Amino acid sequence: MPEEEGRKVLTVAELTRDIKSALESGFSGVWVEGEISNYKVYTSGHVYFTLKDDQAQIRAVMWKGKRAHLKFEPKDGDHVVCRGRVSVFEKRGEYQVVVEAMEPKGLGALQAAFEQLKKKLAAEGFFDEARKRPLPYIPWSVGIVTSPKGAVIRDMVRTINRRFPGLRIVLAPVRVQGDGAAGKIASAIADMNEYGQVDVIIVGRGGGSLEDLWAFNEEPVARAIFASKIPVVSAVGHETDFTIADFVADLRASTPTAAAEQIAPEREAVEESLGESLKSMTIELRDMTEGYARQTDDLSDRAARALASTTRHFRERLSGAARHLKALSPAVTLKNQKASLANLMKGMSASLSRTGKNKRSESAAMVNRLFAIQPGRNVARLRDALERRFFALNERTRAIMSDRRARARLVSGRLEAVSPLAVLERGYSIVTSPDGKVIYKSVKSLSPGMGVKIRMADGDVPASIGGKKADRQEKLF
């Protein structure tokens, strides 16, 4: 080794050895914090990764034995604090931290980003309960934004078809993780809105790591959900995973399958409630019509009675009037007048004998006046008037009666058309308790051996339940 002017020249090995000893003794026990990246577990069980911050990075290794003591499973992006020593790998002139212990440090960078975005969107009103829209009762057309591959879409389709066979499903296939996934998901949501023919949109993916689900924590997805005019259901990962998308969505489902369950009602339940509505309408109307039938019967009875009594009343008045008339009849009057005439004559004869012939002409004039009164003429006029009024009255009562009858006929005609009995005529029957007080609407209320009554169009028949067959209820249509 040549020496010049006190210069000391080292070989690479010597220098490296010096560095190694300086570093290893100078950094034999250090604490360092940083973010993990390139975390890789080798088959040997040793772990190699890089610790970094925004200015520098350092290689790190954790031997199998130390790794076994970790309380958590580190992964890329985790912000950690490590205790270890620096060691130099001479052959490659590299140094690294040999990590002996590691613990998570506060929130990772991703989580910090999550909290930051959440705060920002909350301030913009993205999570307001007031803007959450109700889901349609039946989403005839379901838009799904997810990966076309894998179990997630298959499970959702299966669940929707099981609950409500017949719903249309429109899938917007997208990548749900990795670079650009958030943009793809966001534009698929916008596309669904542009297409416009879906009633609800499910956005989701299956379970995975925080990084796998990350797209659903990104701003474009949040904004697309917020801008959607169609209600959006988020369904990301598992029960315990919460993403920004979940907070913005109109409904957060814990899993994709749960989302399918929440948007699709059970078809049988829908049909059953339709049947129930019809049944209660029929029962209400039947009760009502029976009440009205009784009332119209009552009314007809009362009308008939009233008419009879009115008629009787007028007959009585008429016959009273007739009696009165009879008393006033010309024959009677004449008789009376004749009698008084006779008296007068008698008186006149007496007076004649006294006053002589000159009085005779006077009395003849009086007789003439008497006859001029003619009471019979007035009586005939009175009787005519009375008869006309009685006739008019009769006509009116007849008109009232026939109108009431026509109305009663009309009502009962329509009753027949809507009567539940007409339903029975068509072959339906009603199963009730033996006393007919309870109508059994569900097989659930029946048990084997139970006594029941079956009501058919032409009568009732007692029966007993042989066994239970199915839970399914008969539809009304």
Partner 1 sequence: MNEKNDSGKNLKFEAALKRLEEIVSKLESGELELEKSIELFEEGVKMAKTCQKKLDEAEKKIEKLVRDQEGKLTTEPMEEAGEDAPF
Residues near partner 1 (CB under 8 A) = 136-141, 143, 148-151, 153-154, 157, 161, 164-173, 188, 191-192, 194-199, 267, 270-271, 274, 277-278, 280-282, 284-285, 288-289, 292, 411, 414-415, 418, 476-477
Tokens (6 digits) for 171: 């899938």
Closer CB to partner 1, 186 or 210, in the complex? 186
Closer CB to partner 1, 15 or 151, in the complex? 151
Q: How far is the CB of 216 from partner 1 (least distance, A)?
A: 19
Instruction: Spell out a b/e string for 315-346, using b for 16 or more CB atoms within 10 Å of the CB, else e.
Output: eeebeeeeeeeeeeeeeebeeebeeebeebee
Closer CB to partner 1, 280 or 464, in the complex? 280
- Rounded distance between C-alpha atoms, residue 139 and residue 166, angstroms: 10
Closer CB to partner 1, 100 or 155, in the complex? 155
Closer CB to partner 1, 234 or 296, in the complex? 296
Closer CB to partner 1, 145 or 181, in the complex? 145
Q: How far is the CB of 297 from partner 1 (least distance, A)?
A: 14
Rg (CA), the chain: 55
Q: How far is the CB of 15 from partner 1 (least distance, A)?
A: 59
Q: How far is the CB of 459 from partner 1 (least distance, A)?
A: 25
CB-CB contact of 256 with 235 (8 Å) = yes
Closer CB to partner 1, 202 or 210, in the complex? 202
Q: How far is the CB of 286 from partner 1 (least distance, A)?
A: 10
- Rounded distance between C-alpha atoms, residue 50 and residue 40, angstroms: 10
CB-CB contact of 256 with 157 (8 Å) = no
Q: How far is the CB of 477 from partner 1 (least distance, A)?
A: 5
Q: How far is the CB of 106 from partner 1 (least distance, A)?
A: 40
